[in-house]
Chains A and B, each alone.
Chain A
């Protein structure tokens, strides 16, 4: 059939030279330069090499000498060029025009000097009267070492990053169980795993390293199972896709534990030595100590670490002994009576009792996964863990002094993030996941889960917030951290009457373990004045008037709402952003930030680390291009303000500022005078000869620059595994002041921390007690063993009226990105559609490509339907944050993002009836994925435009006009 051109075959390979030389450098005389820095197109923080031609960004490639990405780069990373040259760029500080209404987008330029004077005057007044009146919330978690320091020095408790609405359940659920978690804190060791199970949407956390590892794993013949309502992203290459109903993961995980325990597929040696499985719990219900471990003695600092003061019931002597006593082996099952008559059970017995009713048949009804599949999954996990054991010839010594010749690995690895976390039952679900991983004996072992420095931490980590409103005092730093890890009710940040101290009510009885705060409730709470009103809200890189907020329509109204006296209910809103985001429109003052290619920055171990399994890593950004003259990095803004406000960390007693600028701060700041601990761990000491700790080194930045902008300490092999109980590692960690305590970190199968809250709710013990109206809530959810409950929204929903669950994912070309208006990336995703299982859609009379309405109890959205076979029939889903408000991000008012694209956020409420946050009752994690919806066709007479629509946002003064076409060619010689 192709013979029509065969006559020409002989002439196809041409010999005459072409006119256009395809190899010739098109700009041979241009100046060319390559500079290393660190990417920030998402939160991965890969090493990049930026190629400049005549000073313009010509090409961005992965740095092959960087441990994190090993030379690769993602779609966003390469498209950083279009971020740099985006017309959405803000170029000068802007103030809302006098007389203009908030949200109208009417601004006038203001100088930086005026900006600082205005801010300093206002903030100084707040600090001198009531520091709570200033709230600082940031959309990014990776600059918390500095932003957190600033807030603490200011003295406000009202500070957090976006973790509360992202994945705090994953952090808290895992850290309160195994002392570490996924992503920045640890991850699956796919180098040695044989079975990899990914549950729920998880691609966006550590994307490039995970892609590298996953491909290697698949090529090595590993088996990859994806459990997810949707088959996309990494799930596409899974060997098996197990569709599951959203929010039911806890039921699946508990049934898997049930089956692992019932068939004896658990790793007994691991449970005995490295967890609290054998430790005896008081089960005398009348006893005040009911539910607590029986203790031999109580050291003074008990709450900061887990002392080895619990009991086992020894199998050999049939009597209680100190746990981990040499030569003893505990009963894991059974019930015993102590000499004083107290009835006790090992924690493992309680776990077994808990999961007894969680059979695969029970879970099948909730998850939609057949019982036989659940059983087989458990068997695959258990048999792989047991029969494909790895023994690495690495000698190490455990915390009890026992020497081991090898490190054992049970090669079953898991990964999960928001898919599990973003539900109101996420914390207990994730506890169940951590316990499953533990029962299989996979924690910090080859082929399983591995920690990254500074993890593991004690359970819970030692950082605490203050526990009383008195910690907030005028003109003084906050007496404690704004975010911390409560170990019992006395650690809560509440007044004597139980009232929250923080504006977001984190660490109150409503959300006691809200370790990342509840950014999603800040605006609603401040607007309502519950628990109080604030004066100034400073938002950094947080799109709280659009995709980062729930209930977007109402929140936008709250931002503009006024009191009877005509004053805005949130009187002063400051937004720092490099771009023309939806939120900037609501600002009273806009601080134009720099891009990541224009600034100094640090990826600090004091912050969210980028460590590897084999040891700590930190990194820097070094400017590769100059910012527009009117832009200033947010870091510099904080250093300047800190100096002007006389905050002790940033200014001398006589008022002189301590640091010339941010780079100077990074070099010279120490956590305490002479501590030798600063933001960067590399090239410390006067000549850069020290690592981890040491005196400030004036040439530290240059040394980072010479070393690929990254500092990586590879720990000795013997410190790379079993770190919860590895004497060598824990001593190293203590010597380097990464941790105060070098005690072993036993895994909490049974969580006494949770039991302390339940006990308080039951009126027992000496600690604080919850207010009457929250007693039942605390008692119910603070269960020391994981349990399944239906997500809170489902519990109050008419499931016949709202039969579907709506969830979102972010596409790989945009996940964790901050500027999806990017000219190249938006050609990959210019708008989003609602994916509906084809049968579900047909049953609702909705054709492929039809316009439809998606409606929840809280709102409705009109959008385009796309039939799919890769989604569970009870789920509808879409790509998140593709939809934009008309005119925002310098896009034309008729851009696809606003005309076809949509936000699911309009369907999701930030509160449940009664004014409580739509969040996990333990951690305050935003329950994005709980929303229940129904779908129906849009009318034939309706406009084919997504709804709701908003008045188009105008460009601001100083913004370049968006070009109608682009022929981008870097450094073109004119």
Chain B
């Protein structure tokens, strides 16, 4: 069974938020839109964003890591948000595993957001319904788009290519391969929701210097430190001492 998902490479994510506004722009005027913004020009602006980047520090100075962490709906294989929905508005699609909200059934009770271990649900304060990442379901099947553009907006925007998109159940897909070969992991596995979205960890490249790399026969100092012999006519001991 197909399970579409995002695999996010924390090794290259620089936290630029390109995914955040690209998502907002696509979805506010798309099938999931409009997305509300309260106080857009006043104190405490707060709006509906399907995707946000959190930045946090790990460790104590100077051994500090700064982590940029994009987070959106995990499209869980066993989504806790679905069974708690009293109206059946929260659902998981058979054909591709995308978890969606049926806005026409949603009564805005927020049970689903309490059930979500990832805080990925976004209540639309003006539409009074729950919203969340749709994996741009209105892009990825849109035949009017060229095939290579049928991807979530955030994936296409990401300048570092940190967001991979595909079917994690297809072992030959780049996303399944990335999870398998690069230590992809899911968040909070102990909740048993089996999130479809995965993260790839930071990888460090180190350099080891061998002593002999600093003592080599082709060291240019061997040439440059060889200075011309003094002129024969320069004063020397020979002029004054006979021993």
Contact = CB atoms under 8 A, between A and B. Distances in A.
Interface of A: 1-3, 5-9, 11-16, 18-26, 53, 58-62, 69, 71-79, 81, 87, 195, 203, 207-208, 211-212, 214-216, 218-219, 221-224, 231-237, 239, 241, 243, 263-268, 315, 318, 331-334, 336, 348, 376, 379-380, 383-384, 387, 812-813, 821, 823-828, 830, 837-839, 868-873, 890-892, 894-896, 899, 962-971
A207 B18 CA distance: 12
Given A899-B43, A963-B40, A14 B126 contact: no
Contact of A824 (B26, B37, B100): B37
A195 B207 CA distance: 10
12 contacts: A1-B191, A2-B190, A18-B105, A24-B31, A72-B18, A78-B18, A223-B207, A825-B21, A894-B43, A899-B43, A966-B40, A966-B47
B159 A74 contact: yes
Interface string B210-242: 000110000111111101100000000000000
Contacts of A224: 205
Contact of B157 (A78, A813, A868): A78
Contacts of B100: 18, 22
Given A22-B100, A208-B159, A224-B205, A59 B26 contact: yes
A337 to B, nearest CB: 9
A751 to B, nearest CB: 21
B57 A826 contact: no
A616 B12 CA distance: 29
Nearest to A21: B31
Interface centre among A12, A24, A830 (most CB of B within 10 A): A12
Nearest to B115: A5
B192 A58 contact: no
Contacts of B55: 232, 236
Contacts, number: 324
Interface string B126-167: 110000001001100110000000000100111111100000
A812 B15 contact: yes
A848 to B, nearest CB: 12
B141 A61 contact: no
Contacts of B83: 5, 7-8, 11-12
A968 B16 contact: no
A726 B88 CA distance: 70
B227 to A, nearest CB: 5
A967 B14 contact: no
Given A12-B92, A870-B66, A237 B12 contact: yes
Contact of A72 (B30, B41, B115, B158): B158
Interface residues of B, number: 102
Contacts of B94: 13-15
B82 A12 contact: yes
A379 B31 contact: no
B74 to A, nearest CB: 14
B34 A967 contact: yes
B102 A380 contact: no
Contacts of A1: 190-192
Contacts of A221: 205
B59 A892 contact: no
A221 B15 CA distance: 20
Contacts of B206: 223, 239
A60 B192 CA distance: 38
Interface of B: 1, 11-18, 20-22, 24-26, 28-47, 49, 55, 57, 59-62, 64-68, 78-80, 82-84, 88, 91-94, 97, 100, 102-105, 115, 126-127, 134, 137-138, 141-142, 153, 156-162, 190-193, 202-207, 209, 213-214, 219-225, 227-228
B31 A869 contact: no
B209 A380 contact: yes
A971 to B, nearest CB: 8
B78 A968 contact: no
A526 B102 CA distance: 63
Contact of A237 (B13, B44, B209): B13
A69 to B, nearest CB: 8
Interface centre among B105, B160, B193, B219 (most CB of A within 10 A): B160
A221 B206 CA distance: 10
A74 B29 contact: no
Given A5-B78, A19-B104, A26 B30 contact: yes
B38 A59 contact: no
B54 to A, nearest CB: 11
A813 B25 contact: no
A830 B39 CA distance: 11
A823 B45 contact: yes
Contact of B64 (A15, A26, A212, A869): A869
Nearest to A815: B16
Interface centre among A3, A241, A872 (most CB of B within 10 A): A241
Contacts of A969: 28-29, 33-34
A237 B202 contact: yes
A264 B221 CA distance: 5
A821 to B, nearest CB: 7
Contacts of A9: 78
Contacts of B82: 8, 12, 14
Contact of A223 (B17, B42, B97, B205): B205
B42 A962 contact: yes
A19 B153 CA distance: 24
Contacts of A966: 36-37, 40, 47
B20 A869 contact: no
A11 B192 CA distance: 16
Contacts of B137: 22-23
Contacts of A233: 14-15
Contact of B88 (A14, A218, A838): A14
A354 B150 CA distance: 59
A894 B42 contact: yes
A221 B12 CA distance: 12
A71 B156 contact: yes
Nearest to A221: B205
Contacts of B142: 23
A21 B104 CA distance: 9
B224 A333 contact: yes
Contacts of A872: 61-62
A200 B38 CA distance: 37
A380 B31 CA distance: 53
A964 B35 CA distance: 14
B9 to A, nearest CB: 8
Contacts of A963: 40-41
Contacts of B15: 232-233, 236, 812
Interface centre among B43, B142, B191 (most CB of A within 10 A): B43
Contacts of B47: 823-824, 827, 966
Nearest to A376: B209
A971 B161 CA distance: 31
Contacts of A72: 18, 156-159, 161
A5 to B, nearest CB: 5
Contacts of B49: 827
A870 B64 contact: yes
B191 A383 contact: no
Nearest to B161: A215
Contacts of A964: 38-39, 42
A25 B31 contact: yes
Contacts of B68: 236
A416 to B, nearest CB: 17
Contacts of A18: 91, 100, 102, 104-105
Given A237-B11, A237-B14, 10 more contacts: A22-B32, A22-B134, A75-B17, A78-B22, A218-B203, A379-B213, A813-B21, A895-B43, A962-B42, A963-B41
B23 to A, nearest CB: 8
A268 B223 contact: yes
B43 A892 contact: yes
A36 to B, nearest CB: 15
